[in-house]
Amino acid sequence: MLDEAWHPVTAPASYCMADIFHACRAFLCSESEYICSNVKGFLKTPYAITSPITVTKNEMILSAKELRADGWLPEAIKVGKNLLGPADWLRAALCVLCGEDVVTVKPEQWQIDMDQFAKLRDLDLKLKWIDTKHLMDNYLSQRSRLQSWTIRLPEGYPRKIAL
C-alpha cells in the first residue's frame, strides 16, 4: 500500500508510518511479532538521500539491530558505509522483508502527503495559541508537522482524504 501513497495505512488495520518503521525494525531483528504501542515522531527534519544508494540485506539487518525500539524516530540511520534517512531506510527495509538481498533506494519524499492534512500543513501558532505578542512560534508548528509519522486514521478510512 505504501507504493500507492506515502501515507498511513488503514486496511486491514490502522498503522501510522512510525508503526510500520518499528515493525520493520523488529522483523529485521528476527522478532516473531510486533505489537504497536505509543510512538513518537521526529525532533528534527529527517535526512533524505539525494542520489540512489545500494544496500544489502545484511547491512539492513545490522542497522536494524542498532535502532532503538522506542523513543523518537531517528533523523538518519547508518547502513553499512551509507547514511539513509528514515524514509529511505523504511523503503529498503520493506524490500528486504519482501525477499530482496540487494536494494537500491532512490531519493523520494520523506514526509507523508501533507495536502491530505491541510490543518497540520498550514499550522502557524504565532499569536494564536497563547494570547501574547511574544510567542514567535519558532518551532512549535514545525515540530507538530514532524509528528506526521504518528498519525493513525480509523480502520478502513479512505487513504486520500477529501478536503
Confidence at residue 161, expressed as pLDDT on a 0 to 100 scale: 43
Query: How far is the C-alpha of 74 from the C-alpha of 53, rounded, in Å?
Result: 19
Q: Would you say residue 6 has pLDDT above 80?
A: no
Cell 530482496, located at residue: 100
**CA separation, residue 59 to residues 9, 56, 81, 121 (Å):** 27, 5, 9, 35
pLDDT grade, residue 12 (50/70/90)? confident
Residue 11: pLDDT band with limits 50, 70, 90: confident
**How does strand 102-105 pair with strand 82-84?**
unpaired
Q: Which residues of 39-62 are buried (b: 16+ CB within 10 A; e: fewer)?
A: bebbeeebbbbeeebebbbebbbe
Query: For the chain, what is the mean pLDDT?
Result: 87
| Spatial distance between the Cα atoms of 107 and 51, rounded to a whole number of angstroms | 6
pLDDT digits (tens, 9 = 90+) for 73-124: 999 999 999 999 999 999 999 999 999 999 999 999 998 888 888 888 887 8
